[in-house]
Amino acid sequence: MTTTQKLSMRDQMVATIAELFERDERTALVLAAVSATQFAPILQRYPQRALNLGIMEQSMIGVAAGFALEGFIPFAHTITPFLVERPLEQLKDDFCYQGLGGNFLSIGASYDYSTDGPTHHGPADVPLLMQLPDMQIVVPGTAHELDQLLQAAYANGSPTYYRTSVAEHNEHLDIEFGKLKVIKQGSQATVIAVGPSLEYVLPAVEGLDVTLLYCTTVAPFDKETLRAYASKGEIVVVEPYYEGALVPGISAALEDMPTRIKAIGVPRQFLHRYGTLEQYNAALRLTPEEIHRRIEQFL
């Protein structure tokens, strides 16, 4: 693993979609004003199938579904709460229930907008979307991973959510859609780090005799790899959104063996403070030191 300098996930999202537009005429893009500047070259070059609709997120998802009905592969994008929470019913009815494929790409994960308050926070995105049958959920940890996952899954015919974040880890990993990646092996417990959480989990497990699995596809969850690396039945999962979303999946994967699970993630509370990501992480006990202490306590 090497440390590299790279595009932000947001810039990578634009770059990858631009590349996909170049080579796949089935692609379509709808925006609700957010990132219109970044996507301007695509909007100008493909005005028939790349449109900024204005600030109407429910209709943005409905229009994307209309494109999907006609055989296009739509991409829809805005800030997390407006992509997931406001049009949640459109995601359910217009895509999942209809049986249509589409790609939903958010910016502003959890409290990325740390100075903008809870209207712009989105830590409920993954837990909410996990309630929608057939919705795939992707949580890349770097721009490179976003590119790999988007290229792999954009045309797979399923509704798929991509959670991009300003929080990234510093490893350069090649990952596979739908697969856990084994980072290291140990004997005391199995730690699962999801997406950007890896940045803090890697130092947190330093010196601990644990297996570390890295997860970028939350749904569908890779039960097989977990089963192969969880013989001890002691599981810690560290997630960058509301804590515990993966617990049912882990529990189901290991249903025939005695299992203890510790879930670490964002607590369910409104954050009535403004500040930096680091201040939020410290207040919510999501620093490497705190994660290390909580894992040791569990063991």
28 or 246: CB nearest another protein: 28
Nearest approach in angstroms of CB 152 to another protein is: 25
Of 3-11, 48-56, 267-275, 277-285, the segment contacting another protein by CB under 8 A is: 48-56
Helix axes 9-23, 143-153, angle to 10 degrees: 30
Of 50 and 202, which has the nearer Cβ to another protein? Answer: 50
Closest CA to 189 of 222, 224, 141, 237: 237
Binders of another protein: how many residues, by CB under 8 A?
29
CA atoms within 13 A of residue 270's CA, in its CB half-sphere: 6
Among 67, 68, 83, smallest CA distance to 31 is for: 83
Instruction: Output 54 or 248, the one with its CB closest to another protein.
Output: 54
Q: Return the amino acid letter for 265.
A: G
Query: Given candidates 39, 67, 113, 154, which one binds another protein under the rule CB under 8 A?
Result: 67
Nearer Cβ to another protein (2/48):
48
Please select the residue that binds another protein; options are 58, 170, 225, 279, rule is CB under 8 A: 58
Choice between 56 and 173, CB closer to another protein: 56
Taking CB under 8 A as the criterion, the residue among 71, 133, 207, 258 binding another protein is 71
Instruction: Report in angstroms how near the CB of residue 220 gets to another protein at its nearest.
Output: 21
Distance of closest approach, residue 132 Cβ to another protein, in angstroms: 14
Distances (CA, A) of 219 to 9, 73, 109, 130, 255: 20, 20, 17, 7, 18
From the list 62-70, 116-124, 141-149, 170-178, the region that binds another protein by CB under 8 A is 62-70
Cis peptide before 133 (omega within 30 of 0): no
The residue (of 86 and 223) whose beta carbon lies closer to another protein is 86
**In sequence order, what DSSP letters do the residues of 236-293 get, joined into one string?**
EEEEEEETTTTHHHHHHHTTTS--EEEEEEE-SS-------HHHHHHHTT-SHHHHHH
Of 24-43, which residues contact another protein (CB under 8 A)? 28
Q: How far is the CB of 162 from another protein (least distance, A)?
A: 20
d(CA 141, CA 166): 10
User: Which of 21, 67, 27 has the alpha carbon at shortest distance from 41?
Assistant: 21
Q: Which amino acid is at 89?
A: E
> 5, 44, 48, 297: which one contacts another protein (CB under 8 A)?
48
Establish if 3 lies at the interface with another protein (CB under 8 A).
no
Q: Cβ(141)–Cβ(198) under 8 Å?
A: yes
Nearer to another protein, 68 or 213 (CB): 68
Using the contact rule CB under 8 A, the part of the chain among 54-62, 77-85, 110-118, 191-199 near another protein is: 54-62
Q: Which residues, listed in sequence order, are joined to residue 73 by a DSSP beta bridge?
A: 27
Q: Cβ 94 to another protein, closest distance in Å? A: 6
Q: Which phi and psi (to 5°) does residue 231 adopt?
A: -60, -25
- Helix/strand/coil percent split, the chain, to 5: 35, 20, 40
Contacts (CB under 8 A) with another protein, residues 83-102: 89-90, 93-94, 97-99
* Interface with another protein (CB under 8 A): 28, 48-49, 51, 53-54, 56, 58-59, 61-72, 74, 89-90, 93-94, 97-99
